[in-house]
Structure 1
């Protein structure tokens, strides 16, 4: 029987999360929640005071329900207060009237091939020649030109011009970067030219974080000095410090394909390893069971994990892990760790009270779900087989000592392997639906990958931290004994050699798994949010069935499975007759998609084929969304099944494509001298085609929709808009409005 009384904080945390989710879905319709929350809290205190004076179970139950209601409203109220866009001085209120703004760099700088990207927080804007306070975050990009320094945390900028609201996804199924930024209270984006901004001072929002980021860069310099291979250095810095600027795309993809991406992110794994090492070392001390030992362990554990969080730059992922382990350490020291679920609930509750938008963070969701699943499932899975005793029972008194030692060693080793396997399986159970929903793939090789990669990477973390500590000691001794500096440096060199070889072995193993098991990655899986909830429900129902042994839970799991399967069948049924033309929004490219159910032909009208990056980020999300089974890419119109006829004699800049009754005219040159009209539903203007409104009207009539594709410059689009809009043309700019979609059989274009 399940007793909620043992999970008091779990109830409160679930109520808080429910309030946060309520605001996410219907927040704009809610009134100000501060006063309703105050009323609920006051009523709860009145009832609770009565319970204290005159204990009554019925009244106590009502007080408990009222407390849950108050926490539920508090979740929505915290979200309301944390949403900067509701403030009267937010950037949204000033629009395009901003002449200048003053802001401070408030995030790490991401180094891209052509730009630096970071986030700035605005403190004031100038409108109509007057400065006034303002708030808001802007995601900015600065070109990596010669002489342009990378933005540093705490830099104060004076920027000319108004930022633009973040763009919605431009292509079907594309990652919603605008929503991601909004969850971080960033609602604007801007590309800033070097002559558009000036650094006018340094005022870091957090002095502690500024010092931590400098410390992380200093330690990164140690790895850069001693780890010579570029690939190994990049992974070493990511593994120990969480700095992934130099990890190449091929390595990222290899780790994603094998389900080991979590190893490259400094989070619970590294923090847990540190705490485990401290606990193990202290376990050698006498008096290990006394309260003094528990206090010493807790203090040292907290000091170690928070020092590590500081030295890694106080990044969000390591802070989240540090808070989680802090509550675990405190519960362990106070001997209140009997219910680990309550301890985790307290950690989640405090984090969500501090920043309710953390609930939308993928890392937060994966971290807590993985730990909860490990706490509950790992002992149960490990209990399936008693590996250790199985091999110990193979020992016989008459066997030679060497044979008995082998049996004992095998029992310990294989028991460790089985425990690690159980842990990996347990973590995967709870995170499986999120992996499908967010990453659209499931690596079947995750067990084999993690079984070897996690131990190697764990040893590498210890050796890497040892290298940093040794370098610090050597640097201190070198100041005292400068004559021995060169000799002392051999210590870090030797440790760095071992560290680099471990990283190399780790990397090679991951790439080997990818080469050996290329079919182990199930990719391009599309799961909607309701379907992900259904998968969670199926997992929970099955766990309840195995725990309670009641057929009703198995029946519920079967029912949810049927609903899930039915939703997939219904989606496929609705998609089968769907036919549509898409003009994609891909910078500087002219790309058309001809979709028929789950099949498609993607035509790059340019002479160059699409790059892998363009496919991955612009086309593939739509493929996954439609669960397409047959997608072919074509360069220009060669080998394309779509009939396309260039009229070279009269109009060398015109190509007419006819597909499923839809006539698409692609114009890249002048139409002057054209006399014969051409029937077209859609006219795509390419490469800043020099055309006049009267020529367009003479050739295509005024019923066609004019689409500016991504090969057109912004100045050209604005110029043509001024000419065409007054005369009644329907216009669509894919660079600003997103991909143009024409559904076959529809009378109008369907724009995203």
Structure 2
């Protein structure tokens, strides 16, 4: 039976577009239009929309305009909430470390939550290294310090091409500071000023460090870097050569926690609790299992630092779970759009985050193009063709995702991989083994004899993946370099991509115009 294109079936998509446009315009005009002005215009638009209830099409247009204004209002309010007056002189303040210190030349960079008189603020700090006592080496996430330094608003260098100051503000940093090696000391810091979510995130970071210590006992640095990135979201140990290999081959997405990793965890939990449901049907009912899965899933999201791609995946899986329980028809594109709306309302600055954009674009592209690409080669349903279908399915997913993400990657990084489909056949199966095996390893830590063999198995898989991707990257023409795409060209590409999808779907008999 053919589907009919009817935008009423996708209300979230209709709302997402004006909301995103409103956020983009509001951010561009932040110096000219205050939040009060946005509020006044929005209220007036709501009143006008209310009195045009008899004019269906005009009211729909006004409603979309109201959503556009809501987007502008949200980003304006977010900017206003991040405004803070900083003193012009050095101050003594207490702070707690939000990240592990990273050495950059003569300084150590670390994120701090500084306890000021008004409220706690996130600070990007550079601490001058003391090469005699090396006190900085004892610092780790969760430690408290007392320092004397200037707190300054994020600023760009005069010759900078990247707007670093705006990037910091969008990621919640309200100040920068440079601390001399003799201007800080350890101190006890009260966390009462921090919100519950901030304290929870900090506690999760400390626990994540403990898990890292457990993994360090079982892996060398090369394998630890990959395993910790895939399971704990810590990419700090990955060296430049390995990053370059994954980037050239188009496999970088397996190193950044995203929907792939969360879906693997979700599938593992569904499998395990499904077994429990069969063995103990009274104790593990379907609704109870779904709630347990979601609790574990969101606990994992908090543990790994709540990045936008992980939250996006968790929200989508949460909606998917509730829709499944209600036995409703699942409109995946609508679910994706609803997820984006929820996240943008919580933090409109996420719209400008590269990982947020790539995350949503890749899923959107897979949902639209995977069915069309997969059916290009009819493989039937015989058991002998199951391995072939599985391989072709992975290639189809990779191609579908690349259709959406390639221009965005080229726009930001000036590079597009040409061997992404081949690398996916290596990286994704390895990831599907490494993630559950690492969880098993952490559980089996009290049994060192068994944990040893599990860690060796993970190391073999990791080494195979690294070696294979390095071999792929060593060949010429594995990527197209120095691509320059303008923002206008990017929009034209996506407009044409949507037009191609509509025509392709229509000619394939998947849809008909209503």
- Tell me the residue number matched to 2:124: 139
**How far apart are the structure 2 equivalents of 1:165 and 1:211?**
27
- Tell me the residue number matched to 1:543: 501
Classify 1:194/1:315 alpha carbon distance in 2 versus 1 (closer, same or farther; 3 Å).
farther
Residue 274 in 1 paired to residue 255 in 2?
no
Classify 1:315/1:338 alpha carbon distance in 2 versus 1 (closer, same or farther; 3 Å).
closer
Cα pair 1:103 1:120 within 8 Å, conserved: no
- The Cα of 1:200 is off from its aligned counterpart by 3.9
Classify 1:138/1:535 alpha carbon distance in 2 versus 1 (closer, same or farther; 3 Å).
same
Residue 502 in 1 paired to residue 461 in 2?
yes
Classify 1:447/1:489 alpha carbon distance in 2 versus 1 (closer, same or farther; 3 Å).
same
Classify 1:203/1:340 alpha carbon distance in 2 versus 1 (closer, same or farther; 3 Å).
farther
- Tell me the residue number matched to 1:357: 349
Number of residue-to-residue matches in the alignment: 491
Give the TM-score normalised by the residue count of structure 2: 0.87
- The Cα of 1:424 is off from its aligned counterpart by 0.7
Q: What SS does the corresponding residue of 2:323 show, helix, strand or coil?
A: helix
Give the TM-score normalised by the residue count of structure 1: 0.61
- Tell me the residue number matched to 2:490: 532
Unaligned runs of 5+ residues in structure 1 are 52-57, 125-131, 393-407, 475-487, 551-752
How big is the alpha-carbon RMSD for the aligned residues of Structure 1 and Structure 2? 2.9
- Tell me the residue number matched to 2:512: none
- Tell me the residue number matched to 1:11: 14
Residue 514 in 1 paired to residue 473 in 2?
yes
**How far apart are the structure 1 equivalents of 2:98 and 2:16?**
29
Residue 191 in 1 paired to residue 178 in 2?
yes
Within a 5 Å distance, the mapping from 1:325-364 to structure 2 comes to: 325-364=317-356
Cα pair 1:165 1:189 within 8 Å, conserved: yes
Structure with greater strand share of residues:
1
Cα pair 1:216 1:313 within 8 Å, conserved: no
- Tell me the residue number matched to 2:249: 258
The structure 2 residue matched to 1:26, chosen from 23, 26, 29, is: 29
Classify 1:360/1:426 alpha carbon distance in 2 versus 1 (closer, same or farther; 3 Å).
same
Q: What SS does the corresponding residue of 1:509 show, helix, strand or coil?
A: helix
**How far apart are the structure 2 equivalents of 1:533 and 1:424?**
22
- Tell me the residue number matched to 2:391: 417
The structure 1 residue matched to 2:103, chosen from 91, 98, 112, is: 112
**How far apart are the structure 2 equivalents of 1:186 and 1:219?**
27
- Tell me the residue number matched to 1:226: 218
Classify 1:90/1:60 alpha carbon distance in 2 versus 1 (closer, same or farther; 3 Å).
farther
Q: What SS does the corresponding residue of 2:95 show, helix, strand or coil?
A: strand
The C-alpha deviation readout for 1:402-450, integer Å capped at 9, x for no partner, is: xxxxxx3x41111100111111111111111111011110010111001
- The Cα of 1:164 is off from its aligned counterpart by 5.9
Within a 5 Å distance, the mapping from 1:211-222 to structure 2 comes to: 211-222=203-214
- Tell me the residue number matched to 2:85: 90
Q: Highest CA radius of gyration, 1 or 2?
A: 1
Cα pair 1:105 1:151 within 8 Å, conserved: no
The structure 1 residue matched to 2:432, chosen from 458, 468, 486, is: 458
Residue 179 in 1 paired to residue 166 in 2?
yes
Classify 1:99/1:489 alpha carbon distance in 2 versus 1 (closer, same or farther; 3 Å).
closer
Residue 242 in 1 paired to residue 227 in 2?
no
Classify 1:211/1:85 alpha carbon distance in 2 versus 1 (closer, same or farther; 3 Å).
closer
The structure 2 residue matched to 1:523, chosen from 464, 473, 481, is: 481
- The Cα of 1:524 is off from its aligned counterpart by 1.5
The structure 1 residue matched to 2:148, chosen from 149, 159, 165, is: 159
Classify 1:152/1:417 alpha carbon distance in 2 versus 1 (closer, same or farther; 3 Å).
same
Classify 1:415/1:549 alpha carbon distance in 2 versus 1 (closer, same or farther; 3 Å).
closer
Cα pair 1:84 1:136 within 8 Å, conserved: no
Cα pair 2:27 2:76 within 8 Å, conserved: no
The structure 2 residue matched to 1:76, chosen from 66, 72, 75, is: 72
- Tell me the residue number matched to 1:386: 378
Unaligned runs of 5+ residues in structure 2 are 509-514
Structure 1 runs (4+) greater than 6 angstroms displaced: none
- Of the two structures, which has the highest relative contact order with CA contacts closer than 8 Å and spacing of 6 or more? 2
**How far apart are the structure 1 equivalents of 2:379 and 2:226?**
34
